[in-house]
Amino acid sequence: MDDAQAKRIVEALLFVFGEPVGLKRLADAMDGCTVPQVRQYIETLNQEYASSGRAFQIQEVAGGYQLVTDIQLAPWIRKALASPKPDSVSKGALETLAIIAYRQPITKAEMEAIRGVDVTAALDTLVERRFVRVTGRKESAGRPFLYGTTSEFLHHFGLGSLEALPPMEHPTLLEPTEADAEPSTQQQ
């Protein structure tokens, strides 16, 4: 691998990790590269970034290296990230959140079957607020996403765990019982 390819690999690894990565880990991922070589690639990349006025650089952070934005751009980044987010969510989003909390993991189609309406906007809000996240895919046709609550949900609502949720007084759908799963033994 030539130096240009090696620098691209370093960039790609730092970009996808999004957290500090040690030189040894970078070198191990790059067959045949040593720690001093990786350190040199990082220095060269930073020189290239600075000379071309790029908005980012590679910085040593917490014993590793991370791709970060230039500190001079902080005012604009801070302004963009400070967009107001309302503290409350709509009634529909709360209803969707309750369905997810009690029935997780659950698909979007299952939520819509319970609510009787499209839950796209409510689900987007809940994901943005980090109350809900994708937990996997259902093993069925189309492999739809499964959604579940997060630790942020528990923290926001003051719950120690999902077991602390109050019991449902009137379930919207009856849960299947063992009798429903057993084949009928009666003859007709």
DSSP characters for the chain?
--HHHHHHHHHHHHHHH-S-B-HHHHHHHSTT--HHHHHHHHHHHHHHHHHHT-SEEEEEETTEEEEEE-GGGHHHHHHHHT----S---HHHHHHHHHHHHH-SB-HHHHHHHHSS--HHHHHHHHHTTSEEEEEE-SSTT--EEEEE-HHHHHHTT-SSGGGSPPPSS-SSPPPPHHHHSPP----
pLDDT of residue 186: 44
Q: What is this structure's pTM?
A: 0.47
CB proximity list for 133: less than 8 A, separation 6 or greater: 127, 147, 148, 150
CA distance 176 to 173: 9
* Region 3-70: CATH code: 1.10.10.10
- Read off the pLDDT of residues 7-60 as tens digits, 9 standing for 90 and up: 999 999 999 987 889 999 999 999 889 999 999 999 999 999 999 999 999 988
| pLDDT exceeds cutoff 70 at 180 | no
Q: Locate tokens 């057993």: which residue?
A: 182
**Which residue, among 139, 99, 144, 104, has the nearest Cα to 117 in the 3D structure?**
99
Residues of the chain with CATH 1.10.10.10: 3-70, 91-168
CATH 1.10.10.60 fits 91-168, yes or no: no
Q: Rounded to the nearest 10 degrees, what angle do helices 3-17 and 35-52 cross at?
A: 80
Please write the tens of the pLDDT for every residue from 149-164.
998 888 888 888 888 8
What is the chain's length?
188
Q: What is the pLDDT of residues 93-140, one digit of tens each?
A: 999 999 999 999 999 999 999 999 999 999 999 999 999 999 999 999
